[in-house]
C-alpha cells in the first residue's frame, strides 16, 4: 500500500496533463488514442487498487480476528483522511465538454476506490459493535465514539462522491449541447471572416 499510494498522485498528474492535451487539441485533432490511453491506465490502476484493497481487507479481517480492533481501524481512518483530502481538492467541474468527460472518468475511478473499501468499512463496523457489546463501559464508550465517527465520515464521503458524479453528469449534458451548437457557429464565423477579408 505504501508503494502504491504515491502513484495515485502521479496518476492524477497524468490525468491532468491528458485533460490539458485533450482540452488544447484542435477540433479536428484525433484525440481518441489519448482518451483510450488515459482510460486504459485508469482501468489498470483500478484493477491494482482493487487487488490492494482486497489484500488490505484480508489483513484487517485477520487483525480483527486476533482481537486487534484498533490496529485494523487506524489504517482505515488514515485512508479516509487521504480520500477526504482528495475529494476536497478536486478541481471544480469544467464547462468544457472534453474536460468534463475526463473529470467523469476520474470520478468513476474514485467511486471504484470507495466501492473497494465498502467491505472493509462494514467488517470493521460489525467487529467494533461486537467488541463494544462485551467491553468495559469506558472502552465501550470509546469504541462507540470511533464507530460513530467512522460511520459519519464514510457516509459523508459517499454523499460527496455521489453529488459530484451527478453534478458532472448534469454539466456534461449542457456542455455537450453547447459544444454541438457552438462548433458549427464558430466554423461559419471563421468562414465568413475569411470571405470578408478577401
The residue behind cell 498528474 is 13
Q: Scanning the structure block, which residue is given the C-alpha cell 490492494?
A: 52
Q: Any idea what the Cα angle at residue 101 is, between residues 99 and 107, rounded to 5°?
A: 105
Residues with Cβ within 8 Å of 135's Cβ and at least 6 positions away in sequence, in order, are: 143
pLDDT tens sequence across 113-165: 899 899 999 999 998 888 888 778 888 898 899 999 999 999 999 999 999 99
Q: What is the pTM of this model?
A: 0.64
Q: How many CA atoms lie within 13 A of 55 on its CB side?
A: 8
Helices (H), the chain: 5-24, 32-65, 69-88, 97-134, 137-197
Sign of CA dihedral 100, 101, 107, 109: negative
Residues 178 and 82: their CA atoms lie apart, in Å, by: 36
Over the stretch 18-54, which tens digit does the pLDDT of each residue have? 888 888 887 788 888 888 888 888 888 888 888 888 8
| All three cell numbers of 15 | 490525468
Amino acid at each position: 500500500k505504501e508503494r502504491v499510494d504515491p502513484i495515485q498522485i502521479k496518476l492524477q498528474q497524468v490525468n491532468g496533463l491528458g485533460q490539458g492535451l485533450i482540452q488544447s487539441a484542435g477540433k479536428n485533432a484525433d484525440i481518441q488514442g489519448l482518451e483510450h490511453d488515459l482510460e486504459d491506465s485508469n482501468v489498470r490502476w483500478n484493477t491494482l487498487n482493487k487487488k490492494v484493497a482486497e489484500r488490505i481487507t484480508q489483513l484487517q479481517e485477520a487483525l480483527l480476528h486476533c482481537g486487534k480492533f484498533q490496529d485494523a481501524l487506524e489504517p482505515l481512518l488514515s485512508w479516509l483522511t487521504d480520500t477526504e483530502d482528495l475529494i476536497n481538492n478536486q478541481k471544480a467541474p469544467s464547462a468544457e465538454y472534453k474536460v468534463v468527460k475526463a473529470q467523469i472518468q476520474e470520478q468513476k475511478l474514485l467511486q471504484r476506490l470507495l466501492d473497494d473499501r465498502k467491505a472493509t468499512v462494514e467488517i470493521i463496523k460489525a467487529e467494533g459493535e461486537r467488541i463494544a457489546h462485551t467491553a468495559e463501559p469506558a472502552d465501550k464508550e470509546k469504541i462507540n465514539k470511533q464507530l460513530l465517527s467512522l460511520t459519519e465520515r464514510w457516509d459523508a464521503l459517499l454523499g460527496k462522491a455521489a453529488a459530484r458524479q451527478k453534478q458532472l453528469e448534469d454539466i456534461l449534458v449542457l456542455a455537450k449541447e453547447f459544444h454541438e451548437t457552438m462548433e458549427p457557429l464558430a466554423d461559419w464565423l471563421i468562414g465568413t471572416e475569411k470571405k470578408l477579408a478577401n
